Structure 1
């Protein structure tokens, strides 16, 4: 076997987690309010063949267990003592859920202010749709769409992220006040993006996507979706660290729905805790995505609120630190309830 992986299971929260950690029956997950008392130990060869077996945390090899225990360092100016809500503002005519709603800069700015008032910690501004089958947008058009919005919101003292896969847009956005670069290609979609992001000083979200928006849902294949993503992120982090990007600047997003069929999505969502092995905050974006409708009654994007909030709560139960959503007020309320239950 050439690869070993740990997937935390037996997750506990709140007082039960504290008692289990205090008595040595469980280990803290990413220094937060979640603990795990068991895990799956996975091993596989270079060809992807392998096996999993259940283990108690006390029996996990120390080198595999240790990376899961400490809390991530502060990220993008946040101490991560509570999960962050990232509000989505799409300045596009064709995004899958709200395309055209905020294509005008004034409408997008007003939307960003409204989401901040509703409780968004971060505003994620995007000028190019990356829904399945979407067409690319020129750098100049994307810059025209997002820069006025980013500048106006940043000048209000709000934390702004730019959702882009293009180096020129990253540069313009950071100059306009963006503190975070959120790239669905994990800085692989543009040959210049790694260097631009590294030099920018901005925090970075690396998302996994198999293929590109035009092809990603055609026939995605994985040996093991969770383990394949763990290998992918390990390689990306090694590459960026070699370019001088400190791991503390990076958050990881498993990219639910990007080059993944429903069984892949469900496996990854059930094993989100595995991604804490890198010591980076985890970003989870599931809001209004099509798999919610497929697993329910075929609801349209704006009718997928309950499913979106449910999966965000599922993510918080696995220690996810950032949830990226369209519906901020409802997610804020859900987070408040989760936190109250944990304190009780």
Structure 2
């Protein structure tokens, strides 16, 4: 059995490998829909140095459509059942209480909620009842054009500066989660790189200001992998060809940012290419 407190209080920055069982994720949609391939990819990431496998069955990219609850449940539970016997520490990337409950009952130890407790009011209560770790991400709603959101909606304006506003808004989300009965020693926070933060100018202050989030007393997850601002950084540096940044280039920058995050005390980095970030 995983020692949740030891996991929460890890003394080194862990690597969280991304397992997207989705049709339309921005960088690896469709690759791992087959249950056997998904399970093998999870085991491969463990062998490459992943401390945690983060399983998601619904894309959060701009323009993505919602997956049915039935499909999400089937994808998630299939992967959980395949990877728990392999000794994996599993995080479940979901905003649905029903999916979280099923995965936790199957042996998952962490719920990674990109909505930070705001999309499904029952989810924090499921967390409290199961006494698992809960990643609370900064969230301003679905990105423009996604899952019924207004395509003209702009959620990327930060009146007091991105670092101050993200910190304050995230702490209000944490307050809501605590009010639902989640223990503070089970909470991990995530500033939500790329979520309502499209540009380099939105995201770099959050990375360089990581100590601001660590100052809350909560461990901090950084999810920078293959985000659009990384492509923008490569383009701005003139390091890309006619077809834009390659996946290898994006993963190289991701690994460099993993090293930076580790240097500043991140709890974990969530990445697609585990080997590169593990080596960094």
TM-score normalised by the chain length of structure 2:
0.88
The match for 1:59 is: none
Cα deviation 1:256-280 (Å, max 9, x = unaligned):
0011131111221221110012211
Would you tell me which structure has more strand in proportion to its own residues?
Answer: 1
Structure 2: segments with no counterpart, 5+ residues: 236-243
Whole-angstrom CA distance in 1 between matches of 2:228 and 2:84 = 31
Question: Which residue of 1 is the match for residue 232 of structure 2?
Answer: 294
Partner of 2:217: 279
**1:110 aligned residue:** 40
Task: Confirm or deny: 8 A CA contact 1:184 1:207 kept in the other structure.
Answer: yes
- For 1:221 and 1:317, locate their aligned partners in 2 and report how far apart those are by CA, in whole Å: 29
SS in 2 for 1:112: helix
Deviation at 1:188, TM superposition (A): 0.9
Larger CA Rg, structure 1 vs 2 = 1
Partner of 2:169: 232
Match of 2:114 among 184, 191, 195: 184
Q: Could you tell me how far apart the structure 1 residues matched to 2:185 and 2:133 are?
A: 8
1:138 aligns with 2:60: no
Runs of 4+ in 1 over 3 A off after TM superposition: 73-79, 215-218, 300-303
Residue 253 (structure 2) aligns with = 307
Deviations 1:17-47 (A, max 9, x none): xxxxxxxxxxxxxxxxxxxxxxxxxxxxxxx
Q: Deviations over 1:48-106 (max 9, x none)?
A: xxxxxxxxxxxxxxxxxxxxxxxxx9646354111110000001111111111111111
Determine which of 257, 272, 279 is the counterpart of 1:326: 272
* Deviation of 1:252 (Å): 0.5
Alpha-carbon distance change, 294 to 106 in structure 1, aligned in 2, over 3 angstroms: same
1:248 is aligned to 185
| 2:154 paired with 1:222 | no
CA distance in 2, matches of 1:77, 1:288: 25
Aligned-residue offset at 1:211? 2.1
**Corresponding residue pairs, total:** 262
Q: Provide the residue aligned with 2:58 in structure 1.
A: 128
Q: Which position in structure 2 is the counterpart of 1:268?
A: 206
Contact 2:124 2:182 in 1 (8 A): no
5+ residue gaps, structure 1: 1-72, 335-344
- CA RMSD across the alignment: 1.9
Aligned mate of 1:257, from 172, 182, 194:
194
Deviates more, 1:94-103 or 1:240-249: 240-249
